[in-house]
Structure 1
C-alpha cells in the first residue's frame, strides 16, 4: 500500500518509540496566562437553504495537567480512545492482532477507573459513544470470511453489555474481493445508532438495541459510513456487481443523503471511474477523497445535495479531522494543511520545526472540544484561523497520543498512559 490512510475519527494508534521534545519556557510546565478554554472568535451563521459546517463556540489555548494514569507496555500495542462526554473508554491490544483487547472505562473529571472488559476489538475500527453508551466494532485483524463480526454496546458507567448486533456482509468489492476485519464504523444521531450491513442500513435504539429504522438497497451497498451530517446521514455507496444493475453504471460511486428515518433525500454521483474511499463530515458539509492516480477531493452540501467544489489531491495525503469549518490534511512530511470546508481553499500549511521531521514521525491530527491538536512526541494546539501553534509541550517521555473531551477535561492517551487537563 503506497499511501497513508487515516479513517475519519479512527482513534487507534500503533506504538512507536522516540524522544523528541517540544520547547517550553525554562524547560518546565507550559506557561499560559488566563483561562485555557476561551470563546471562539467567529461562528457560522445560519446558511438559510445552504448548508454550513459545524459551529464552534469555544476552543482551548493551553493545558494544565490535573491527573495522570500511568500505563507502560512492554510489547507494542494499538490503542483507541472514545468519550461519551462525561466518561471515556481506553482500548488497547497487542499489535500482532492476536487475542482480545482490553477496554477500560474512566471518569473524565477525576481519571478514576470505573470498569474493565476483555473483547475482540479489531483495532482498525472506530468505537462511537453518546449518553451512557459506547458501541464497539468487534472482529479479528487476521480474519477470514467465516469469522463473525458484530457490534457490541456497553454501558459506559459499568461496562455491562447492553446489546449485540451481528454484521453478515463481509465481502468488499474493490479492485479485488477481500473481507473487512470489523464492521465499518457507524454513527449516533438523536439516540439512534446507525450502521451499514452490505445493502442494508439499520438504525438501532442506542440503549435497547431495538431496530427503529431499516432500509435495503436493490442495487448498491455501502463502502463508507453512515456518517452524521447535522440532521442527515450520508453513505458512500457503489453498485453491487452481484445484483441486477441494469441501467446503472457500475463504474460510478455515489454519496447518498438520507433522513433519520433512512428515507432518501439526495444523491451525488461521482465521475465515472473515480474511486472515492474516505469521507468526513462537519455540520452539513461532507468531504470525500479518492486516492487514485490522480487523487481528488470533493466538498458536498448534504442539505442541498450539491457539489460545492472539487480539486486534485496530492499523493500520500492523510485525511484529518474537521473543526470550525477547517479540514486539516497531513502529508508525508507530517505537515498539517488546512482547507476551508465551504470553498476547498487551502488556508495554511503548518510545517514541522526545523530538524524535527525524525522526532515527529507519526505526528497526527486530533480534534476535541472545538480545538485542533497536533499529537506526536508532544502536544500542540493549532489555531485553525492562522495555522500557527499557540501552545506546545511534551508531558511524557515517549509522546504519541489520542485526544477526546470528557467531564470538562481534555483527555490524552499516549504511550505512557492517560492524562487529564484543564
Structure 2
C-alpha cells in the first residue's frame, strides 16, 4: 500500500500533468514545466493546499477510498478522473451523494481534506447556486414559439457548424455593432467548454462545476439550475418541438466527466433519467450526444490514458464506442465497439499485468448521412495497435454494425506513461498520439457532391467518399503534434471547408514549422482557397497565451467565428480569410449577480454562436498550460 506522502506526491504529479494536456495527458515533459511556469495565471482560481491537509487527505483516501478508485473497480471512477473534479463536487458525493455510506465514519474535516487532496484545490465555501440572479416570473417562462434552430452540437446532420441567415441578424457589417449584453461567472471554474443551445428565449449550458443552467437570453437571469455529479464538458443537445405546441415537453441531454448521460425536462430542469454509459472506471463523456428522431447516440471516451502513468495500474482495457439509447428512457438499443475485449499480455517491469488491445476513444460527435453515422477515433492505449485507431469509422445508424474504416495513421499506441522516465506502461509503439479528435463533417462541393471530411492532431485533413471510405484527397494543413493540428472541430459551407489549426508547442522538435491559424480548403479537391496565419504579436509573454485555435468553430454565410488560444474571438471573411472583427475575451467584466467574469483561452468542443441579435461564447480553458477563465459572454447588436 502506498504511504500518504507517496499518494500526495503522485496526486501532485498527476494534477500538474493534467494542466499540461489538451486531451487526457497528451503533452510532453516540457509542457509540464510550462504549466508550472504559468502557475501565476491560475492563482485566482487554484489555491495551494497546505501540507497538513494534503497528508491528512492522503491518509484518509488510502484508508477509505483507494481500494476501489486505485484498483479499476467497475463503475468506480479512477483517481485520475477524481483529480479533475472540483473539491466541492467530491465533498458533495461524500456528504450526501453516492459515497455517503463509505464516508459516514469520517469527520467533516476529514472529508474536506480528501476533497482538497484529490483535486489539489482549496474548497470554495461560497454557495455556487447563488452565483446568478433568479428570474422574476415575467422572465422565467419559456417561449414555446421558439424551438431550437441549432438543437445538436453540429447544428445539423452533417456537423457543418453552419448558422444560416434565417437564424440570426448579425451579418458581417453588424459585427461592429455588437455590445456586451450580460456575462455569467461560472463558480469554481477554470474552464468553460460546454457548447450552449438556445431555445425558448433561453440559453442552456453546462459548467466545470457540474451545474447546468437555463439563463434568460435577454437578461441573463437564471430560470433554473441543475446539479450534475461532475463537470459537464459536453455541449447541450435539445429535443425540438413544433412552434406554439403548448403540450411539448422537450428533453435536454448532456454528459458528465464520470461517464453519466442525463436527460432533463428542458422547461423545468427536472431529472428524467441518468445513466452511466459504460462500466469501465475510466469512461468519460467529452463529445455531445446527438439526437436523431427517438434515438440518442452517445460517444464514449476515456481518461484511462492518464491512469497508465501508475506502474501498478493494469493497462489498459477501455474500448471506444458509440452507444445508441432510447431518448425518452435511456434504454440501450445497441453498442458499437471498435476493439475486442482486452486480453492479458504479460506483465510490465514491476510485475503488473498488461492488457490489450485498448483505446480508440471517441472525442467527437457523429455526423450523419443516409443510413450511416461517422466518428473519428483516437490512439490505442496499449499494444497491440489496431486498424481502428486514428481512424474515421462508418457505422450503420440502425444496427450499430461497422460499415467501413479509414485509418490515417498505423501503429499508434500511446499513453501518459510514455512521458515518464520509467515508462513502465508505455506500449512498444510509443505514439505518435494522432487522434481524430475533431468531429467529421459532410461537406458539399459546388456541384452538390457529398464529401466526408475529417481532421486530426497530426494536422492532416482528409476527404473521403461517404459511402465507401475511399480517399479522395488529403492535405497536411498543420504541422501537427500531441497538442497540435486540428483539435475540436472544423466547419463547412458553400463548397468550402474551414480548418482551425492549433500547433501549440509540445516540447518536441519537428522537421517543419508550426502553422497556427485559420485555413479554407476546396471541398472537392482539398486545395487551399486561403490561408490566414495567427498573429504572433498578441501574447507578448502573457502566461498561458499561444497563437492558434483549439476549440470548435462556427460559420455563417459571411464569416467564420473562432475563439483562439490567445483569448481573442475573431471573425474571418469566408471569401478571403481577412479578419473583419475581433474581441479580447480575457478582460474582466462585471457579471450577473455582481461577480467578476474573466475569460481566457478558448478550447474544447464549444463553438461561438450567433442567434437572433446575439453572439454567445464561452471563454476559459485551463488545459495544456493555457489561460484559465470562467466566463460566459453574451453580446447583443445595438438596436
Shift of 1:105: 1.3
Q: 1:72 to 1:233 in 2, by over 3 A?
A: same
Residues 232-247 of structure 1 mapped to structure 2, 5 A cutoff: 232-236=451-455
Flag the structure with higher strand content. Answer: 1
Q: 1:165 to 1:117 in 2, by over 3 A?
A: same
The corresponding residue for 2:465 is 259
Q: Give CA deviations for 1:277-310 in whole Å, capped at 9, x if unaligned.
A: 3341223432331415633332112134321112
Shift of 1:347: 1.4
**Separation in 1, partners of 2:478, 2:570:** 28
Contact 2:554–2:562 (Cα < 8 Å) also in 1: no
Aligned pair partner of 1:270 in 476, 480, 501: 476
Flag the structure with higher helix content. Answer: 2
Aligned pair partner of 1:361 in 578, 599, 602: 599
**Separation in 2, partners of 1:274, 1:234:** 17
Residues 295-314 of structure 1 mapped to structure 2, 5 A cutoff: 295-297=515-517, 298-314=519-535
Q: Give CA deviations for 1:53-105 in whole Å, capped at 9, x if unaligned.
A: 663322279946499443246x8634423425423312223xxxxxx433221
The corresponding residue for 1:80 is 234
TM-score, L = length of structure 1: 0.61
1:195 aligns to 2:407 (yes or no):
no
Shift of 1:257: 1.1
Q: Give CA deviations for 1:192-249 in whole Å, capped at 9, x if unaligned.
A: 21124337543223233244x31445976984253332432112369xxxxxxxxxxx
**Separation in 1, partners of 2:441, 2:163:** 14
**Separation in 2, partners of 1:182, 1:217:** 14
Shift of 1:165: 1.0
* Mean CA deviation greater in 77-86 or 269-278: 269-278
The corresponding residue for 2:327 is 156
Contact 1:38–1:59 (Cα < 8 Å) also in 2: no
**Matched position secondary structure for 2:393:** strand
Aligned pair partner of 1:102 in 260, 273, 277: 260
Aligned pair partner of 1:207 in 395, 398, 408: 398
**Separation in 1, partners of 2:288, 2:275:** 17
Q: Rg larger in 1 or in 2?
A: 2
TM-score, L = length of structure 2: 0.43
Shift of 1:266: 3.0
RMSD of aligned residue pairs (Cα, Å): 4.8
Gaps of 5+ in 1: 8-12, 40-50, 94-99, 171-178, 239-251, 383-388, 392-422
Q: For this pair of structures, how many residues does the alignment match?
A: 333
**Matched position secondary structure for 2:168:** strand
* Mean CA deviation greater in 367-376 or 156-165: 367-376
Shift of 1:338: 1.6
Aligned pair partner of 1:137 in 299, 306, 319: 299
The corresponding residue for 1:415 is none
Shift of 1:191: 4.5
Gaps of 5+ in 2: 1-16, 25-83, 89-123, 150-159, 171-180, 182-200, 203-215, 241-250, 306-314, 342-357, 377-387, 413-433, 445-449, 506-513, 536-545, 591-595, 620-629
Report which structure shows greater RCO (CA 8 Å, sep ≥6): 1
Aligned pair partner of 1:373 in 616, 633, 639: 616
* Mean CA deviation greater in 275-284 or 104-113: 104-113
Q: Give CA deviations for 1:383-413 in whole Å, capped at 9, x if unaligned.
A: xxxxxx439xxxxxxxxxxxxxxxxxxxxxx
* Mean CA deviation greater in 269-278 or 338-347: 269-278
Contact 2:168–2:611 (Cα < 8 Å) also in 1: yes
Q: 1:191 to 1:14 in 2, by over 3 A?
A: farther
